[in-house]
Amino acid sequence: MKILKYKIQLSLALTTSALVFLNSCKNDPLSPGIEFMPDMYRSVAYKPYEENPNFKDLLGARPPVQGTVSQGEFPNSAFNINEAFYPFPDTNEGYEEAGNKLKNPLPATPENLKKGADLYVKFCSPCHGDAGDGNGSIVANGKFPSPGKYWDRVLANGLNDGKMFHVITYGKNLMGSHASQLTKEERWLVIHHIDELVKKAAPTLIVNSTEASAKSSKKK
Ligand code: HEC
């Protein structure tokens, strides 16, 4: 009985050391050793930027099929900003042109307003404040200068939806571009919310109409 136990122990020890031996004897120090199911470790698919011999140009990352529309774009919008590029340059003229030509393609449904408010709180409130008065948390604690009130900007710059889109896309002075954080669709959703904030604070200001960009009121 005892001998049998020793025999088992001995064969276990031999098997283990044989496995260790087999696994450790590799020339390549980076080799993981024996791979029992290599497909599980190594994807058979090409990595996005890997060379791909199946194509003449060897590019693994293929350009989108012609006519493809990415999420957040508006192929049928009257103001088609669905070009591969955004057509208005980051200049004062581009700012004015965007203000004249761009219109919010999304309807101000309760659902869209809710989405816009949600995005606003996440991306804009820290500076602009929940109410849009320029007193967000990092302004209140003295870490960042106040961007001012949106409704003052409507008076000063004729701020309207198109100009807002332009500023969110490129940024302006201390404000960085938010193009990588918000899709075009999300930018328009946020703009609906800003319009709501302006309406609440300064009900007599007209902000979303492109031709009547900023009509100041006597009251304000
Ligand atoms: C890090 C702080 C910061 C964040 C975050 C921020 N902004 Fe701004 N924003 C500013 C500052 C500062 C200005 C004033 C820029 C200037 O005119 O010098 C500004 C100006 C603006 C203006 C007015 C531009 C004009 O032409 O008068 C709009 C509209 C605006 N921001 C929208 C947004 C939206 C929408 C978001 C969120 C997606 C956002 N901002 C996030 C700091 C910020």
pLDDT of residue 116: 98
For residue range 149-200, list pLDDT tens digits in order: 999 999 999 999 999 999 999 999 999 999 889 988 899 999 999 999 999 9
For residue range 95-136, list pLDDT tens digits in order: 999 999 999 989 999 999 999 999 999 999 999 999 999 999
Which of 169, 175, 194 to mutate to test ligand 1, by most ligand atoms within 8 A of the CB atom? 175
pLDDT of residue 21: 61
Distance CA 212, CA 215 (A): 6
- Burial of 184 (C-beta count, 10 Å sphere; 0-12/13-18/19+): buried
Mean pLDDT, residues 61-72 taken together: 78
Q: Does any ligand 1 atom lie closer than 6 A to the CB of residue 153?
A: yes
Q: Does any ligand 1 atom lie closer than 6 A to the CB of residue 128?
A: yes
3-state secondary structure 90-149: CCHHHHHHHHHHCCCCCCCCHHHHHHHHHHHHHHCHHHHCCCCCCCCHHHHCCCCCCCCC
pLDDT of residue 211: 39
pLDDT of residue 20: 62
Q: Higher model confidence: residue 205 or residue 21?
A: 205
pLDDT of residue 84: 46
Q: Higher model confidence: residue 196 or residue 35?
A: 196
Tally Cβ neighbours within 10 Å of residue 194: 25
Q: How many A from CA of 174 to the centre of ligand 1? A: 8
Report the atom number in ligand 1 closest to the C-alpha of 150. 23
Rg for the chain, CA atoms, rounded = 30
Q: Does any ligand 1 atom lie closer than 6 A to the CB of residue 198?
A: no
pLDDT of residue 73: 62
Report the atom number in ligand 1 closest to the C-alpha of 95. 26
Domains in the chain (CATH in brackets) are 92-201 (1.10.760.10)
Report the atom number in ligand 1 closest to the C-alpha of 182. 38
Is residue 72 very low, low, confident or very high in pLDDT (cuts 50, 70, 90)?
low
Asked if residue 100 lies in contact with residue 93, where contact means CB atoms within 8 angstroms, the answer is no
Residue corresponding to tokens 């190594």: 42
For residue range 73-83, list pLDDT tens digits in order: 655 444 445 44
What DSSP state is assigned to residue 85? S
Per the prediction, the chain carries an average pLDDT of 83
Distance CA 82, CA 70 (A): 9
Q: Is the pLDDT of residue 205 over 90?
A: no
